[in-house]
Amino acid sequence: MPSKEAALHDLLLQLFDATELRRFVHFAYGRELVDNLPGASASLSTLAFEITSAMSRRGLVDEALFQRLRDVRPHHHEFIDAVGAVWIVDHKTWRSRPSPLPSPAHERRNSAAIQIFVSYSRKDVSFREDLEVHLRLLQRKGAVDVWHDGRIAAGDEWENVLRAELESADIILFLMSPDFLASDFCWSIELKRALERVESGDTMIVPVLVRPCMWKDSPLAHFQVLPRDATAISRQSDTDAAWLEVAESVREAAAHVRHERG
């Protein structure tokens, strides 16, 4: 395998497991490319090799690919940029572009969009990334603006930025899991303040069950949980369908907030 293809192969191994990699390719390039991939029994390395080869043959390894990778895995942007520089001819210009992590809140906010705050445990970052993928279309349309602590820029006073975003959120999504319920910060800061803002009618709470946990014994039991059958996303046979239900519910909640604004 040529060195630049080997670099992309290794990058895909770093960023995804087999299910996530198939989902990424399907979402970005459609079913045709996915249908020609090895079956479910293939190893992650074999799958990444076939995807790398297919995309190279079809001329799909371009700036758009690396930007998509940056969008879904923002915390790995330095690694993605390094591999992108191997492929992109004008890599100096491309790599000089800002990281996908947005600038501070006062510069970033789209005032017309419904502001969404995502509260989660760091151990559930993969679920948060899946959520972002499924909300991407709503963000591109300017319907919503999704924020989480991974968006805090270098040099920002993280707690001040987080509290400001929490205060301005129209909708607060809680990704529920055992680690979320065990997190003192999520529980005592984010959940506590969200409940206070709901009480005053300033925001909406949307709990999303990502892993089985004792959420029915928490204050979030008073809100409609997603997925609506209360089966954790990690237990779903079709996680894309489960995330689609979440995304559609967020779209409906955003439309409700927009209507209430008048």
Residue type, 243: W
Q: Give the strand pairing for 204-209 and 144-147.
A: unpaired
Of 44-53, 84-93, 205-214, the range with the highest mean pLDDT is: 205-214
pTM of the model: 0.60
Confidence of residue 237 (pLDDT cuts 50, 70, 90): very high
| Cβ-contact 13, 50 below 8 angstroms | no
pLDDT (0 to 100) of residue 159 = 76
pLDDT (0 to 100) of residue 91 = 44
Q: How much is the average pLDDT of 33-45?
A: 78
Question: What is d(CA 51, CA 33) in angstroms, rounded to the nearest whole number?
Answer: 8
Give, in order, the Cα–Cα distances in Å from 187 to each of 110, 159, 174, 216: 28, 15, 10, 15
pLDDT (0 to 100) of residue 2 = 60
pLDDT (0 to 100) of residue 19 = 81
- pLDDT tens per residue, range 215-225: 999 999 999 99
Q: Would you state the torsion angle of the CA atoms of residues 98, 102, 104, 105, taken in this order, to the nearest 10 degrees?
A: 150
Retrieve residue 235's tokens: 């237990």
Average pLDDT, the chain: 84
- Cα–Cα nearest to 94, from 108, 72, 77: 77
pLDDT (0 to 100) of residue 62 = 86
Residue type, 218: S
Question: What is d(CA 23, CA 250) in angstroms, rounded to the nearest whole number?
Answer: 21
| Cβ-contact 15, 76 below 8 angstroms | yes
Question: What is d(CA 13, CA 228) in angstroms, rounded to the nearest whole number?
Answer: 33
Is the bond leading into 178 cis (omega within 30 degrees of zero)? no
Q: How much is the average pLDDT of 10-15?
A: 87
Contacts of 133 (CB under 8 A, 6+ apart): 23, 24, 27, 72, 243
Q: Is 26 helix (H, G, I), strand (E, B) or coil?
A: helix
| Cβ-contact 84, 95 below 8 angstroms | yes
Does the pLDDT value for residue 36 go beyond 70?
yes
- pLDDT tens per residue, range 123-180: 899 999 999 999 999 998 899 999 988 777 655 667 788 888 999 999 999 999 999 9
Q: Give the strand pairing for 171-176 and 144-147.
A: unpaired
Question: b vs e for 155-181, b when ≥16 Cβ sit within 10 Å of the residue's Cβ?
Answer: eeeeeebbeebbeebbbbbbbbbebbb
| Cβ-contact 181, 187 below 8 angstroms | yes
- Domain 105-261 matching CATH 3.30.1380.20: the answer reads no
Residue type, 214: M
Does the pLDDT value for residue 13 go beyond 70?
yes
- pLDDT tens per residue, range 45-88: 988 888 888 888 888 888 888 888 887 777 777 788 888 888 87
pLDDT (0 to 100) of residue 73 = 78
pLDDT (0 to 100) of residue 222 = 94
